[in-house]
Amino acid sequence: MDQKRILVIEDEKPIAEILKYGFEKEGFQVACAYTGGSGLEKAEEYKPDMVLLDWMLPDIAGVDVCRMLTEQHNIPIIMLTARGNVEDKLYGLESGADDYITKPFDLREVVARVRTILRRFDRVRGIREEQSAVEGLTVSEQERMVYRNGEPVELTPKEYDLLLYFLKHPRQVFTRVILLEQIWGYDYMGDTRTVDIHIQRLRRKTGLGEKLVTVFGVGYKYVP
């Protein structure tokens, strides 16, 4: 089995070195970058399976780096930050991050979260090739890509997983908690408003609009 590649983008070198040492000890390959610009360049050449991204970088804000990475690559991202309030967490997730870890952190927790996200990502990626046309969208599970009228739709990994889950369960109503468990994982400790943010973005990006129906007081469902 190939070693998973982790890219750490963190301007505090002692923290980057701790992460590098810890993940290499767990059998990962690790590369480090200390600015947003060098991180974007490293992502192009290193082709990481996961990015650990600091919020506060000296040249480009971490959330902006996150947006650029999700526009260019289909890779999961975990934000690392000293910011602990809910608004900042939601802002980071809205930028395309898959998870959010507050400093100071326990290295064991970071490793566990990375493993959980990578397992889920691989599970979905490993599904056999299946293309289906729904509502003017073409979904390729092998590529993990969605096309709208022949043009690729830029979705983050979590947006893609959420869309696929709805398309495979039409007319079923799901609470926000269930969606968090199914898409983000049972150990996810985030706010349920994360689901609302992702639904809003899916409506806008895919053109599904009101077909991703809000069931007031309950959650959401997809109605073809």
Q: What is the CATH number of the domain that holds 192?
A: 1.10.10.10
Interstrand relation of 5-9 and 50-54 (parallel, antiparallel or unpaired): parallel
pLDDT category, 135, cuts 50, 70, 90?
A: low
Within this chain, do residues 98 and 174 fall inside the same structural domain, yes or no? no
Residue 30 parent element (H or E): strand 29-33
Within this chain, do residues 28 and 103 fall inside the same structural domain, yes or no? yes
Mean pLDDT on 20-32: 94
Residue 130 lies in a domain: no
**Cα–Cα distance measured from residue 99 to residue 101, given in angstroms and rounded to the nearest whole number:** 7
Q: Which residue has the tokens 């979260």?
A: 113
Q: Pick from 84, 103, 125: which residue ends a domain?
A: 125
Within this chain, do residues 83 and 161 fall inside the same structural domain, yes or no? no
Within this chain, do residues 110 and 171 fall inside the same structural domain, yes or no? no
- Supply the pLDDT for residue 1: 44
- Supply the pLDDT for residue 86: 64
pLDDT(132) > 60: no
- Supply the pLDDT for residue 15: 93
Q: Would you state the structure tokens that stand for residue 3, as one six-digit string?
A: 């070693």
At a CB cut-off of 8 Å and minimum separation 6, what does 23 contact?
Answer: 6, 30, 111, 114
- CB neighbourhood size of 74 (10 A): 16
Task: Kindly report, residue by residue over 148-179, the tens digit of the pLDDT.
Answer: 877 888 888 889 999 989 988 889 999 998 89
CATH number at residue 81: 3.40.50.2300
**Cα–Cα distance measured from residue 39 to residue 182, given in angstroms and rounded to the nearest whole number:** 30
Within this chain, do residues 31 and 115 fall inside the same structural domain, yes or no? yes
% of the chain at pLDDT higher than 70: 87
Mean pLDDT on 175-193: 78
Number of domains in the chain: 2
Cα torsion for 186, 189, 192, 194, to the nearest 10°?
-100
Q: Do 184 and 161 contact (CB within 8 A), yes or no?
A: no
- Supply the pLDDT for residue 175: 92
Within this chain, do residues 105 and 167 fall inside the same structural domain, yes or no? no
Expressed as residue numbers, the domain containing 74 is: 5-125
Residue 131 lies in a domain: no
Within this chain, do residues 172 and 91 fall inside the same structural domain, yes or no? no
Residue 137 lies in a domain: no
Residue 141 lies in a domain: no
